[in-house]
Each structure stands twice: as C-alpha cells, then as structure tokens.
Amino acid sequence: MNDEIFAMENRYRMLSDDKARSEHENRLRLDRAVDEIQDARRCLEDLKYNLSEKSKQNCDLIDEMNRCKRVLDDKFFESNRLKEEASVKTEQVSELKRNQQQVEHDIDSVKAQRAELWREISQLKEHSEQRAMEANHMSEKLKALNHELSRVSSRIEDTQKLIDLRSHDLRAK
C-alpha cells in the first residue's frame, strides 16, 4: 500500500506538475492572447485614427474636387461666352472690312471724279485763257477799229465841212 500511496503521490505530483505546467502554459497563452488583443486593439485604434484621417482627407479632396468642378464649369461658361463674343467680333470685323472696301471703292471713285474734274478744270482754264487772249485780241482790234472809226469819222466830218463849204461857195457863186 505504501507503494500505491507512493505511486499515487507520484501521480498526484505529476498531475500537479502537469496542472502547474498546463496552468503556466495557459497563463503564457493567455498573456500572449492578451498582448495580441492589446496589439490588435492598438492596431484597431491606429486604423480607426488612419480611417478618420483618410475620411477627413477624402472630404477635403471631395470639397476641393467640387470647387474645381465649379471653377471648371465657370471656365466652361466663360469660354462659351468668349466664343460667342469672338464670333460677334468676327462678324463685326468682316462687316467693317466690307465697309472699308466700300469706302475704299468710294474713295477711288471720288479720286477718279476729282481727276476728271481736274482735267475738265484744266481744259476750262486753257479754254478760258484762250478766250481771254481772244478777248484781249478782240479788245485791241476793237480799240484799233474805234480809233480808225473815230479817225474816219473825223475825216468824214472834215470832208463834210469841206463839202458844205464848197457847196456854200458854189451856191454863193
């Protein structure tokens, strides 16, 4: 019985050692699990923090994207407005070019008319000078004829006086 007691004590010691070893292993496993849980919680907190930071960044980027879209829309509308203005200005430029061509044509016509009028004025001046020369020549002729007429008239008067004198003398005789 001693042997049995001794064997039981040995088994009890072995069981107790097994239990102690098992408890120790379980404690170690439990400590490792607690450490892993704490690491996981820390990782989870870090991930939550990163998620919150990324969410904030995402919101900021979405706001920036919306601002950029509004700016892009504004630029698009501005470009369409500028295209319309450019189209209107192009039409105005073509109208002004047509007007310029018409004015240039009118100027050329007026220049041609002025040149024609200048030629006509030159011809009229020449004709006027010629008429003035003829008038001067006629005036000189007229003066000469008037002088000749007055001389002839005076000779006629002298002759008439002479005839009257002789007639008178002849009658008197």
| Per-position pLDDT tens, the chain of length 173 | 777 888 888 888 888 888 888 889 889 999 999 999 999 999 999 999 999 999 999 999 999 999 999 999 999 999 999 999 999 999 999 999 999 999 999 999 999 999 999 999 999 999 999 999 999 999 999 999 999 989 999 999 988 888 888 888 877 76
Angstrom distance (rounded) from CA 98 to CA 96: 5
Largest separation between any pair of C-alpha atoms in the chain: 241
* pLDDT at residue 7 in the model: 83
Among all chains, which residue has been given the structure tokens 């010691």?
Answer: 13
Measured CA angle at 82 (ends 81, 86), to 5 deg: 120
Torsion of CA 115, 121, 126, 128, to 10 degrees: 170
b/e string for 148-163 if b means 16 or more Cβ within 10 A?
Answer: eeeeeeeeeeeeeeee
Q: How many Å apart are CA 50 and CA 38, to the nearest integer?
A: 18
Structural tokens at position 52: 């919150």
> How far apart, in whole angstroms, are the C-alpha atoms of residue 49 and residue 168?
166
Give the DSSP H or E segment for 157. Answer: helix 2-172
pLDDT (0 to 100) of residue 173:
67
